[in-house]
């Protein structure tokens, strides 16, 4: 079949790499793609938030399946567009409609959903400009630190953790009164701070059945020992040792089943991914957030561990036959190190030549912010590359990834040297 994959990051390079291995894949298009996806299919210049144009492309190119990487187009209803249009609704669409994408698109919706279905999460309340005073009073009732979340999509920057009450109150004012995140912070969720260890759990679902994909740990801060500002993710490791069978049973029974059952009960169809951002507190799992897509860079660590065919899995999700689908995952360990431009997540320069990727041995290299200029690879984003190694044990996976991360070169290259250190302990 002909497949259209939407997105342009490292996650999409990993998806394109895996999709293109399927014997079921005839032609793969990636919109807009990057220099890495171009190695596995044909990049096409489409604005993926322009649903009509994407639909026209799909019709003209006899697309049989659409797979969506990032959340924004989903939250804005690209799946609804495909399901609604008679000429498009025969296309297998992997990604939820707007109603389901609210799990990520509205934090207030997600929290209320969890409450309705008794899914463990931090206690919370949501506030708007009309209830600012109640919001301040609620903050006063909580112990420090304080967690404030813009309700809507804010490019991963909408969560602010404040150490002091004064800072929390002024941040709430800025979010609600000064529209710090525009419309996205017209509603703000204030919630209890949970202290624990985070992990990312992914499922693919058809709205009734689900398959649990490998779990992964993401390293979000720019600095070693989890210091400095948050980034999109500086590395990933899969599997997560503390996510053992007993813990994953709790996750499945208390979180995954009630989430999918809750969607069904509320009449919300859902075909695609659910990314459970979890935190383990005293051995118990809690939901920090839902996303309706795969994680980046977690995808670069989990897809290499999936041995079965990805297109068959996606087809079963879109056709509602996931319960009959098989998914095989290797026990091997995957270690992903992200190489970023110097200065990221703040300002950074672009356009530096990337060298020695051709000398990499034993690792997969997924491209994120990489472009081609006169046939040479140059940096074009904050997160530039993700180096993944699959090995029998954690230390070997990390060692080989680090060797290759060291070898690849571009001006200003930075990576954390402590990815997976906690896994080895
Ligand atoms: P998000 O953008 O929703 O992924 O949140 C960013 C980060 O904020 C999460 O990865 C957590 O590290 C942190 N965070 C969010 N909510 C909480 C919470 N209730 N307690 C502690 N940390 C949190
Ligand atoms: N790595 C976290 C995310 O994709 O949101």
Instruction: Please spell the DSSP secondary structure of 72-102, one letter per residue.
Output: HHHHTTHHHHHHHSTTTTTSEEES--HHHHH
Mean pLDDT (the chain, rounded)? 96
Residues having CB closer than 6 A to ligand 1 are 122, 147, 156, 159, 191, 193-194, 198, 220, 277, 288-289
pLDDT band at residue 157 under the 50/70/90 scheme: confident
Could you tell me if 203 and 212 are in contact, meaning their C-beta atoms sit under 8 angstroms apart?
Answer: yes
Q: Are residues 143 and 15 in the same domain?
A: no
Percentage helix, strand, coil, to 5, in the chain? 35, 30, 40
CA distance 404 to 339: 11
**What percentage of the chain has pLDDT greater than the value 90?**
92
Residues 184 and 243 in one domain: no
pLDDT at 156 over 80: no
In the reported structure, the alpha carbon of residue 239 is separated from the centroid of ligand 2 by a whole-number distance in angstroms of 16
| Per-residue pLDDT, 229 | 87
First to last CA, the chain: 45
- Half-sphere exposure for 196 (CA within 13 Å, toward CB): 20
Domain with 140 in it: what CATH number? 3.30.1490.20
248: domain CATH number is: 3.30.470.20
Mean pLDDT throughout 197-214?
97
pLDDT digits over 259-278, tens only?
999 999 999 999 999 999 99
Going by pLDDT thresholds of 50, 70 and 90, the confidence category of residue 6 is very high
pLDDT of residue 93: 98
The answer to the question of residue 381 being in a domain is: yes
Ligand 2, atom 4, lies closest to the CA of 295
In-domain check, residue 406: yes
DSSP-derived secondary structure for 318-369 = HHT-GGG----B-S-EEEEEEEE-TTTTS------B-B-GGG--S-EEEESS
pTM: 0.96
Are residues 351 and 381 part of one domain?
yes
How far, in Å, CA of 294 to CA of 344, rounded?
A: 22
Cβ atoms 44, 19 nearer than 8 A: no
Domain that holds residue 179: 123-192
* Coil, helix or strand at residue 235: strand
In the sheet where 333-340 sits, what is the strand order? Answer: 217-218, 235-238, 333-340, 383-391, 364-367
- 310 with 243, same domain? yes
pLDDT for the residue numbered 186 = 86
Cβ neighbours around 254 below 10 Å, total: 17
Give the chain's domain count: 3
Inside any domain, residue 9 = yes
In a domain, 152, yes or no: yes
Per the listing, tokens 């920057």 go with: 157
Q: How many CB atoms lie within 10 A of CB 24?
A: 16
Same-domain status, 302 and 390: yes
Task: State the ligand closest to the CA atom of 104.
Answer: 1
- Report if residue 238 sits inside a domain: yes
Q: CA–CA separation, 116 vs 173, rounded Å?
A: 28
- pLDDT band at residue 122 under the 50/70/90 scheme: very high
Give the CATH number of the domain where residue 72 resides: 3.40.50.20
Is 372's pLDDT higher than 90? Answer: yes
Structural domain contains residue 100 = no
* pLDDT attached to residue 223: 96
Question: Closest by alpha carbon to 291, among 312, 276, 281?
Answer: 276
Domain identity same for 298 and 411:
yes
Specify if 246 maps to a domain: yes
Dist. CA 217–CA 212, nearest whole Å: 15
For residue 299, give the ligand nearest its CA. Answer: 2
**Does the pLDDT of residue 185 top 90, yes or no?**
no
Same domain, 217 and 318: yes
Distance, in Å, from the CA atom of 15 to the CA atom of 41, rounded to the nearest integer, reads 11
pLDDT for the residue numbered 130: 92
**209 and 292 fall within a common domain:** yes
Q: What is the pLDDT of residue 177?
A: 87
Please name which of 238, 332, 230, 296 lies closest in space to residue 36, comparing C-alpha atoms: 296
Name the domain boundary from 192, 213, 237: 192
354-358 average pLDDT score = 97
Q: Are residues 182 and 223 in the same domain?
A: no
| Domain limit, last residue, from 85, 104, 132 | 85
Atom number of ligand 1 nearest to Cα 193: 20
Q: Whose atoms come closest to the Cα of 200: which ligand?
A: 2
Q: Residues with Cβ within 6 A of ligand 2?
A: 218, 233, 291, 295-296, 298
Note the pLDDT tens digit of each residue in 379-405.
999 999 999 999 999 999 999 999 999
Q: Domain ends where: 144, 175, 192?
A: 192
Strands 65-68, 3-7: pairing kind: parallel
Q: Which of 30-34, 154-158, 310-314, 364-368 has the lowest mean pLDDT?
A: 154-158
- Residue 110, in any domain of the structure: no
pLDDT tens digit string along 99-110?
A: 999 999 999 999
Who's near 239: CB < 8 A, 6+ residues apart?
A: 214, 215, 216, 305, 333
On whether both 187 and 203 belong to a single domain, the answer is no
Residues 145 and 128 in one domain: yes
| Domain shared by 337 and 315, yes or no | yes
Cα 321 to Cα 24, 79, 255, 272: the distances in Å are 17, 19, 22, 13
């Amino acid at each position: 079949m002909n497949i259209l994959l939407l997105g342009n990051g490292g996650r999409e390079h990993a998806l394109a790499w895996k999709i293109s291995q399927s014997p079921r894949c005839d032609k793969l298009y990636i919109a807009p793609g990057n220099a890495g996806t171009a190695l596995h299919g044909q990049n096409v210049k489409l604005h993926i938030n322009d649903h009509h144009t994407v639909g026209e492309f799909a019709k003209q190119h006899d697309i049989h399946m659409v797979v969506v990487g990032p959340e924004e187009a989903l939250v804005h209803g690209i799946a609804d567009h495909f399901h609604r249009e008679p000429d498009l609704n025969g296309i297998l669409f992997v990604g939820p409609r707007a109603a389901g994408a609210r799990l990520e698109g509205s934090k207030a919706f997600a929290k209320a959903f969890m409450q309705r279905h008794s899914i463990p999460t931090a206690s919370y309340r949501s506030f708007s400009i009309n209830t600012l005073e109640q919001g301040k009073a609620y903050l006063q009732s909580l112990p420090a630190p304080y967690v404030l979340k813009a309700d809507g999509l804010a490019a991963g920057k909408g969560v602010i953790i404040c150490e002091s009450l004064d800072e929390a109150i002024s941040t709430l004012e800025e979010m609600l009164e000064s529209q710090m995140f525009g419309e996205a912070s017209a509603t703000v969720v204030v919630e209890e701070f949970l202290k624990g260890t985070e992990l990312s759990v992914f499922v693919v679902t058809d709205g009734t059945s689900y398959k649990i994909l490998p779990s992964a740990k993401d390293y979000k801060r720019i600095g070693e020992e989890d210091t400095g500002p948050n980034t999109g993710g500086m590395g990933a490791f899969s599997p997560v040792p503390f996510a053992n069978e007993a813990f994953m049973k709790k996750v499945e029974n208390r979180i995954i089943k009630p989430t999918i059952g809750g969607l069904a009960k509320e009449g919300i169809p859902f075909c695609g991914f659910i990314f459970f951002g979890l935190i383990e507190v005293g051995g118990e799992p809690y939901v920090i957030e839902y996303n309706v897509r795969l994680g980046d860079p977690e995808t670069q660590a989990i897809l290499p561990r999936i041995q079965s065919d990805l297109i068959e899995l996606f087809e079963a999700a879109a056709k509602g036959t996931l319960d009959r689908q098989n998914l095989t995952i290797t026990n091997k360990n995957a270690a992903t190190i992200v190489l970023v431009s110097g200065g990221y997540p703040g300002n950074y320069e672009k356009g530096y030549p990337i060298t020695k990727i051709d000398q990499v041995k034993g690792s997969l290299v997924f491209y994120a912010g990489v472009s081609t200029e006169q046939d040479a690879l140059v940096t074009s984003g904050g997160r530039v590359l993700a180096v993944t190694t699959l090995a029998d044990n954690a230390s070997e996976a990390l060692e080989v990834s680090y060797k290759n991360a060291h070898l690849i070169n571009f001006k200003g290259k930075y990576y954390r040297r402590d990815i997976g250190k906690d896994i080895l302990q």
